[in-house]
A and B are shown apart, each in its own frame.
Chain A
Amino acid sequence: MTIEAGLGTVANYVDERTGAAAWMKKNLQKVFPDHWSFLLGEVALYSFVILLLSGTFLTFWFDPSQREVIYDGGYAPLEGLKMSAAYASTLHISFEVRGGLLMRQIHHWSALIFMSAIVAHLLRVFFTGAFRKPREGNWIIGIGLLTLGIVEGFLGYSLPDDLLSGTGIRIAEAIIQALPVVGSYLSYFAFGGAFPGESFIPRIYTVHVLLLPGAFLALITVHLMLVWYQKHTQYPGPGRTEKNVVGYPLMPTYMAKAGGFFFIVFGVIAFLSAVASINPIWLYGPYTPGQISAGSQPDWYMGWLDGLVRMAPPIETHAFGHTISWNILIPGLIIPGILFTGMALYPFIESWITGDKREHHLLDRPRNAPNRTALGAMSLTFMLVCLINGGNDIIATHFSLTINQIMWFTRFGVLILPPIAFVVTKRLCLSLQRADRDLVLHGRETGTLLRLPHGEFVEVHEPISPEKTYLLTSHEQAPALELPAVDAHGVKRAGGLRNKLRARMSIANAETVTKVSANDLKEIEHH
């Protein structure tokens, strides 16, 4: 019996009992569009798989306990010191377990890459408008995954109970305590008593290895099923409409590509883990509340939060026997809360401003949505300024600056630079639109100079291809919403202030360089 015949028998056996053939045929031929930026989410997915595998390996030896032990392992500079079993077992994994240090580094590097891939994927989705109807729900799930990733990463960073992770937990405790009224009670509840206590690490271990990975798996499944069901968005171009998907079938093209890409992601992470040290906990030493190291930092995805806390001026109020630490409360809870809520609600805010309730499967080129692109650049600038302040001590020593300079720069910069980024980006987008218009109207500059009989020099322009013309003229340019203050009967409409705000934002949003219309194109052809 040949292999084909054998496979056929097995397939037939399964199909006769499950009726899977029709379903498989339909779904294996499902078409996906092709673009490098569509692979960013895949990087996140694959690093999550690597996190699960390497994390499982680490649980075989990690002892999530704050029980005090005296170290007698192989690392001489810590010999005989008192430490928690969690820290001692992490040292054991690093130095005595075969391949343990490599696995720890794979786990940590893939966590960093997981988070940066999520952020890069989020930026792609935002700037191309892929979150629009019908994908608002999936956008919110994505924001949920980002938030979970930040929490999960922080818990992982806290588990080894080294000096750095203990410092991080100390700050988390401060943020919990900053909650007015309930803060101190919540802190006692979370730590099972006073900081650091003996229950925190066992508790966050359960959350880190059971609860959050479970939530991740569930949300990722829904995230991917929605992509499947709603179909993938595609970039505009000839032959691509709101009603079709142009690309390659899942089987065999994407099966091979995605499968290969998984191993490339694994390979890059393994390479990084083999050549570059990450979180060398043996150098940090065991955690004791009395100790701290200069330049203590969180991992990068928490760095912007740390930067916000570092730049907050020391403001506190005392009322009714309670202290409210605004310097922790505002940067640690209120601002992140506003940012993440705003981010989750953005699809609804944008559709409210544009009045656009239609489905969108074709992506926007970022320049054709200047307001959205500018808003994205503004948020990025905000994050970047905060992130810079998060590393202010390292930047100060390595670039011969002073911490105070950086702090004051970021204190003002965090307010001034984002609006500047907004204006500059919007203008850049409009300029690019203008350049597109010129290209369609006058063609490509060839660099060939021609001297006319009367002596004038002109540059020869060459018409661009019809495909390119289509790409540059196919997008929609919706006019601003008309929201008159009074209706047809001269009666003032309800919600006047809201309408006014909406009308103003809509006008700003509709600001654009008029694209070349079909009539203009016909006229050009006549020439």
Chain B
Amino acid sequence: MKRISQYRRHKAAGPFLLILALLAIGTTFNVASAVTSSQTKAVDRSVLIEEGRQIFLKGCSSCHGLNAEGGQIAPSLIGVGAASVDFQVGTGRMPMADMNTQAMRKAPLYDAVETAALAAYVSSLAPGPEIPAESSLNYERDGSTAEGGELFRNNCAMCHNFAGQGGALTQGKYAPTLMGVSPKYIYEAMITGPQSMPVFSDKTITPAEKVSIIKWIKAAENEPNLGGASLGRVGPVTEGLLGWVLGLGILIGVAVWLAMKAR
């Protein structure tokens, strides 16, 4: 030991020990966590499902039934899949605040862990669409904006408006704005068809095409207002209003001023 301990005052000893310690801890943690995750996955999942069931019984069962079988005012959740739960709960649409027309986007009531538990519980009832993996949502890398735009105008614009600003449906229902929605939720909405929205299965729009649509929506979101103030990107209604109020309004003001000066 003396051979090693004689270097204990060496100026490189401190950094060396630090690097050694970090390496040791890192390696141990990596090995240990890999082992435990593979070992406890099954256990964790059943715990998660049970957790989700408890949340479900407290927060959801009054409408969706004790076994998620649905009721008079809410549909059955058997077979809707984890993606549906993740979308509805994660965007705050569920639990519903107002049952009149349709669930609206609001601050979520459950946190990420609780949402995951609920999703696990519901997907344990029957198979359904799964939450898309983070790696499949890399729209920056995988998508094509132009193709996404064409798909968007073919499939989405009739309800969500040409620039994804949303639009009105019948009886007070509406297609919400797509601005500021995270790619995961856009994807989940396409595969689960929430509210009045149809399901766009992978046969109708392939996963690659879905990513392109997301890429186009994100491009529209970040698109600068090239012509000046956008006026809400809702078409000629706001343009006409501005033309009358500001355009003709200012000119009438000037006309009044011109006629006043003469007196």
Chain A residues near B (Cβ < 8 Å): 34-40, 42-43, 76-81, 94-95, 101, 105, 108-109, 112-113, 116-117, 120, 163-164, 248, 253, 257, 260-261, 264-265, 268-269, 272-280, 282-285, 288, 290-300, 303, 391-394, 396-397, 401-405
Contacts and interface: CB of A to CB of B under 8 A. Distances in A.
A94 B172 CA distance: 37
A291 B157 contact: yes
Contacts of B237: 295, 297, 300, 303, 391, 394
28 contacts: A36-B252, A36-B255, A36-B256, A39-B255, A77-B146, A78-B149, A79-B145, A81-B146, A81-B149, A94-B226, A117-B248, A163-B153, A164-B162, A260-B258, A272-B242, A272-B243, A276-B229, A276-B239, A280-B233, A285-B157, A288-B153, A293-B161, A293-B162, A295-B167, A300-B241, A396-B174, A402-B101, A405-B172
B57 interface: no
Q: Chain B at the A interface: mostly helix, strand, loop or mixed?
A: helix
Interface residues of B, number: 59
Contacts of A79: 145-146
B15 interface: no
A152 to B, nearest CB: 16
A113 B226 contact: no
B172 A402 contact: yes
B183 to A, nearest CB: 17
Contacts of B153: 163, 285, 288, 291, 293
Given A43-B255, A283-B220, A291 B154 contact: yes
A248 B254 CA distance: 19
Contacts of A280: 226-227, 230, 233
A33 to B, nearest CB: 10
Contacts of B258: 36, 39, 257, 260-261
Given A36-B258, A248-B262, A403-B168, A120 B154 contact: no
A116 B236 contact: no
Contacts of A298: 236
Contact of B239 (A117, A278, A405): A278
A294 B172 contact: no
Chief secondary structure at chain A's binding surface: helix
Interface string B44-63: 00000000000000000000
Contacts of A290: 154
Contacts of B145: 76-77, 79
Nearest to B167: A294
Given A272-B247, A284-B162, A285-B150, 16 more contacts: A35-B259, A36-B256, A43-B251, A77-B219, A81-B150, A95-B226, A105-B228, A109-B243, A257-B258, A277-B228, A290-B154, A291-B154, A293-B167, A294-B160, A294-B167, A297-B237
A306 B241 CA distance: 16
B204 interface: no
B243 A295 contact: no
A113 B247 contact: yes
A392 B169 CA distance: 11
B225 A277 contact: yes
Contacts of A94: 226
Interface in B150-203: 150, 153-154, 157-163, 166-172, 174-175
B226 A282 contact: yes
Nearest to B251: A43
Contacts of A394: 168, 234-235, 237-238
A277 B259 contact: no
A42 B258 CA distance: 13
B256 A163 contact: no
B29 interface: no
A120 B253 CA distance: 13
A283 B171 contact: no
A520 B250 CA distance: 44
Query: Which 8 A-B residue pairs are closest in the complex by CB-CB distance?
Result: A294-B167, A300-B240, A277-B227, A402-B172, A112-B243, A293-B162, A39-B255, A396-B168
